Structures are given as C-alpha cells and as structure tokens.
C-alpha cells in the first residue's frame, strides 16, 4: 500500500501528519507530504486509512497492493 | 442584537444575529436543509443562506463566482478599489493575489512555529486555573476561555497584554456590531486602525522578534508589504484569532459540563482528547464565513445578484446527514471526521494549527485541574450570535 498527497488539492489542514506522523510530514507552510515514497507497512495501514478519512480536502490517494 | 425585527420566517427573512440563532441554530438549519436548502433574506441588502454541505463546499471552492471582498455580512459593501488585497488580506483577497499574501503569513502559523508557543500557552492556562481553584461557581467563558487566545495572540503579534480589554472591544465591534448604524461601525473601525497604526509605528522604530516586525520585513513579489497591507493583516489576526478560539474552548467545556459520560471518559482516557476535540469542532464549529456574489447568476436555482452576501455556515455543513453519519450526535470517539470547522479550499483558516494547540492545551489543563464540573444554571448560559458562535456566559458548578 502507498499513500500520496496531491499538492494541488492539499490546503494544509494538517490532519494527516497529526494522525499518522510516521507516514506524513508538514512542510514550512503546513502542507502535508508523504514520508519517502509513501510506502505503508502493514502495521500502519489502519493509520493510513484514518488519515485519508480525515482529510477535509480529500487530497490523499491510496494505491493498494 | 436587539437592533432588528425578530425573525418569524427563516426561509424568506432570516437574520443570523437573531437571538434564536444564537441560542440554538441547529433546528433552524435542519429545517431549512429539508425545506429550503438555500434561503434568502432581504436584510443586509440581500443575503443567501445555504445549509447543505454540498452547496456550502461548492461555494467555498468557487472563487470565480463568489468573491471574498467582504467576509462579514453587514449593510456595508467594501469598495471595489480595495481589490486585490481587500480590507483584511489574505482573508479578503481573491486569486491570484491571495496566494502570495497567504504564503507570507503561513510560516508564522506552521505546526513547527505553533509548537514553540505551547509551553507559554500551557503556563497561561495553568495560571488561569490556579486563580479559579476553590470557587464553587466559575464562569468558564469569561474567567477562562476568553483569556487564552487574547494572551497568545497579543504575545505572538507583539501587542501589550495590558490592552487585552481593548482587543475584546474591537472584536466585539467588528463581529457582533454588524447591525449598528454605518457611521457608528465606521468609527469603531477607525479606532481599531488608529490603535494598530501607533503599534506598527513603534515596531518600525524599534523592530523586535514578533509577528508585526516579521510582516514589516516580509516581501511579496520582491517588494516589502505596504503599511496598509501590514495594518490590515494585523487587524485580521487580532480579530480572527480571539473569539473563534474562545468559542471553541467554551463550547467544548459547555458540552462536557452537560454530558458527564463524555467528561468522565476524557478524564479517564486523556489520549482520546485529540479525537474528541475534532468531534467537538465538528459539532460546535464556531465560524460562519461569507462571500459576495461577483456577478448576477443562478446558483442551485437561486437568482443571485451581484453584491448579494452568501453566508457559509460551516457548522451547518458539519451537521448535514448526507455528509456525516449520525450527524446530530456528538460521538467523542468518531474516527472518520472530515469536518469543515476551519473552512474548505484556499481560505482554510491560516491559524488552524494555533487554534488546535490552544484548544488542546486549554482542555488538558482544565480537565486535569477540574475533573468534575456541571452546568450551574443551564438557563444562564448565553451564546454569541452572528458569524462566530460560542458561549459568552458559562457558569459552571465546580464539584
């Protein structure tokens, strides 16, 4: 599983890195970015889905697999 | 309040400053969502009120047809010459100017910058609760919630804490004085800007490590921000940063005072607070934004005219059953929560990270000091109306 934050859609609410700091990090203006290449280890899948479910802008996409 | 005729028909003659809206707007919005999802009123020279999440978010995202030239509904429409910055950049700015004006501000409100303010915020809150210990009845709105954002924002901007009462006066005038006669409203605005001019002049002469000096030094497209831009942005931060957070903290304490099971669970499981806080933000989102219609057009079958206001009641969007399961219930362990308390789209509240930090710290410190409290007199609770709703009188029995 991989996650990605679309920078065209992100408005910096910061829900993703508050919920899953292992998977997302803020830049200097508060926008969220996936850590590294966005790979989600199995034990963090639940957190990844919570981040997706709490993004007010629906800016996070998930690639299953 | 009290300056207008009481509302009898919410679908055709609503007024967001009406006492019934302040006391309990949820039944009004729920009814309108069913019967008249975009209501209209001739008050304030024409204003629309969408109550469905779908319409509210569509308008928030549509910066072409809806301008932010004014975001506070009143009789007044700011002159077009104030564009592109508007009366209080960046909240009053439209694209493309908006992006740069906001970009300048965001680093000061980033999560990293906000983290640095947490220790002093916690110290303020602890000082406040120490002053409240030993009392049987405490007004949590007046004696606690309101002081926290005033002190935090004064410290951040670099304004004297001793002027806190004046700040609250300015906020009250701008946000709750919308029904005042135009001359009286203009005089209040003038007083605010004269106060800020003196403070900014002092920062020009004596630069220091605070947000006013930061903005005076900041550049937009390779040029320093002009004096008016700095002044209007400072006015925005002062107005937007105070009674919004005050309202969110107060509404949370009001909920916990009236719902002992939720209060007891948070005392027992403090790690649930971040999740609970999001639910309290959803259920009691304090802020209703507004836009002006740019040109005559049709929206959702409504004939909107240029310079009509449109209210964006984010708290109503947050209670729409088409967007949230069990929308009218407060579930403090709700895990999926895409609420719009801080708005949607390019005008997402620039201070949201600061507001969340203040709210979390304020509630943590309160619950640790006072694990048991109840509404002393539910009938004595008074809520502000208009575009920022929260408890302004909140007597709690502390045992």
Query: Which range of residues forms the domain containing residue A18?
Result: 2-63
Distance CA B374, CA B362 (A): 17
pLDDT, one tens digit per residue, over B309-363 is 999 999 999 999 999 999 999 999 999 999 999 999 999 999 999 999 999 999 9
Q: Does residue B1 form part of some domain?
A: no
Q: Does A12 touch chain B if contact means CB atoms closer than 8 Å?
A: yes
The CB-based long-range contact list for B367-371 (8 Å cut-off, 24+ gap) reads B367/B256, B367/B263, B367/B266, B367/B267, B367/B270, B367/B273, B369/B126, B369/B129, B369/B132, B369/B133, B370/B129, B370/B132, B370/B398, B371/B263, B371/B267
Whether residue B337 and residue A30 make contact (CB cut-off 8 A), yes or no, is no
Q: Are A55 and A30 in contact (CB under 8 A)?
A: no
For chain A, the domain total comes to 1
Domain count, chain B: 1
B313: β partners: B288
Q: Which residue has the tokens 């708005």?
A: B343
Ranges assigned E (strand) in chain B: 38-41, 47-50, 66-67, 137-139, 219-220, 223-224, 288-293, 297-299, 302-304, 309-313, 374-375, 382-383, 391-393, 395-397
Calpha distance B202→B41 (Å, rounded): 45
**Interface-testing mutation among A26, A54, A60, with chain B (most B C-beta atoms within 10 A):** A54
Can you tell me the distance from the alpha carbon of B40 to that of B10, in angstroms, rounded to the nearest whole number?
8
CATH number at residue B196: 1.10.630.10
Interface residue A30 vs chain B (CB under 8 A): yes
The shortest CB-CB distance from A29 to any of B110, B335, B356 is to B110
Neighbours of B264 (CB within 10 A): 13
> What's phi and psi for A10, nearest 5 deg?
-60, 135
Whole-number Å distance between alpha carbons of B152 and B149:
5
Higher pLDDT, A25 or B161: A25
Mutate which of B114, B348, B357, B359 to disrupt the A interface (most A C-beta within 10 Å)?
B348
CA–CA gap between residue B314 and residue B255 (Å, rounded): 19
**How many C-beta atoms lie closer than 10 Å to residue B9's C-beta?**
10
Cβ of residue A42 closer than 8 Å to a chain B Cβ: no
Does any CB of chain A come closer than 8 Å to the CB of residue B111?
yes
Residue contact B111–A26, C-beta within 8 A: yes
Rounded Cα distance between B173 and A10, Å, is 34
Contact yes or no for B286/B315 (Cβ under 8 A): yes
Question: ipTM exceeding 0.90?
Answer: yes
User: Taking CB atoms and an 8 Å limit, are B278 and A54 in contact across chains?
Assistant: yes
For residue A54, list chain B residues with Cβ-Cβ distance below 8 A.
278, 336-338
Preferred mutation among B353, B355, B360 to probe A, highest tally of A CBs within 10 A? B353
pLDDT tens figures, B204-247:
999 999 999 999 999 998 999 988 899 999 999 998 999 899 99
Calpha distance B120→B155 (Å, rounded): 9
- Mean residue pLDDT across chain B: 95
Which of A11, A26, A54 is the closest to B348 by Cβ?
A11
Average pLDDT, stretch B125-135? 98
Residue B201: domain span: 10-397
Q: Which residues contact B214 (CB under 8 A, 6 or more apart)?
A: B108
CB B29 within 8 Å of CB B36: no
- Percent of chain B predicted with pLDDT > 70: 99
Q: Which residue of B has its CA nearest to A58?
A: B338
- Please check whether residue B19 lies inside any domain of the structure: yes
């Amino acid at each position: 599983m991989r996650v990605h934050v679309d920078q065209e859609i992100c408005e910096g609410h910061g829900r993703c890195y508050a919920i899953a700091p292992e998977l997302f990090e803020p830049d200097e203006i508060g926008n969220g970015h996936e850590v590294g290449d966005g790979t989600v280890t199995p034990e963090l899948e639940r957190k990844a889905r919570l981040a997706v479910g709490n993004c007010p802008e629906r800016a996070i996409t998930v690639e299953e697999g | 309040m009290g300056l207008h005729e009481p509302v009898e028909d919410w679908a055709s003659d609503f007024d967001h400053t009406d006492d019934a809206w302040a006391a309990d707007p949820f039944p009004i919005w729920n009814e309108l969502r069913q019967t008249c999802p975009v209501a209209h009123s001739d008050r304030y020279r024409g204003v629309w009120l969408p109550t469905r999440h779908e319409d509210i978010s569509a308008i928030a995202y549509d910066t072409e047809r809806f301008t932010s030239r004014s975001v506070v509904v009143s009789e007044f429409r700011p002159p077009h010459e104030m564009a592109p910055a508007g009366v209080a950049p960046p909240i009053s700015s439209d694209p493309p100017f908006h992006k740069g004006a906001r970009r300048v501000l965001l680093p000061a409100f980033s999560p990293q910058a906000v983290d640095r303010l947490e220790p002093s915020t916690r110290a303020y809150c602890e000082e406040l609760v120490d002053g409240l210990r030993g009392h049987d009845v405490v007004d949590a709105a007046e004696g606690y919630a309101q002081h926290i954002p005033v002190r935090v924002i004064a410290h951040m901007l670099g304004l004297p804490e001793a002027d806190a009462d004046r700040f609250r006066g300015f906020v009250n005038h701008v946000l709750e004085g919308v029904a005042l006669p135009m001359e009286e409203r203009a005089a209040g605005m003038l007083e605010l800007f004269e106060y800020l001019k003196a403070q900014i002049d002092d920062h020009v002469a004596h630069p220091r490590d605070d947000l006013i000096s930061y903005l005076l030094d900041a550049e937009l497209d390779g040029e320093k921000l002009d004096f008016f831009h700095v002044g209007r942005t400072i006015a925005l931060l002062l107005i937007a940063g105070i009674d919004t957070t005050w309202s969110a903290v107060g509404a949370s304490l009001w909920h916990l005072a009236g719902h002992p099971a939720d209060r007891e669970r948070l005392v027992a499981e403090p790690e649930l607070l971040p999740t609970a806080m999001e639910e309290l933000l959803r259920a009691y989102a304090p802020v209703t934004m507004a836009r002006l219609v740019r040109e005559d057009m049709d929206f959702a079958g409504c004939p909107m005219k240029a310079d009509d206001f449109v209210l964006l009641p984010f708290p109503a969007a947050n209670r729409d059953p088409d967007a949230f399961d069990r929308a009218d219930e407060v579930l403090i362990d709700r895990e999926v929560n895409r609420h719009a308390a801080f708005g949607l789209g390019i005008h997402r509240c620039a201070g949201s990270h600061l507001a969340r930090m203040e709210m979390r710290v304020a509630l943590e410190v309160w619950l640790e000091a006072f694990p048991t409290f109840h509404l002393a007199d539910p009938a004595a609770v008074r809520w502000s109306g208009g575009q920022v709703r929260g408890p302004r009188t909140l007597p709690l029995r502390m045992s």
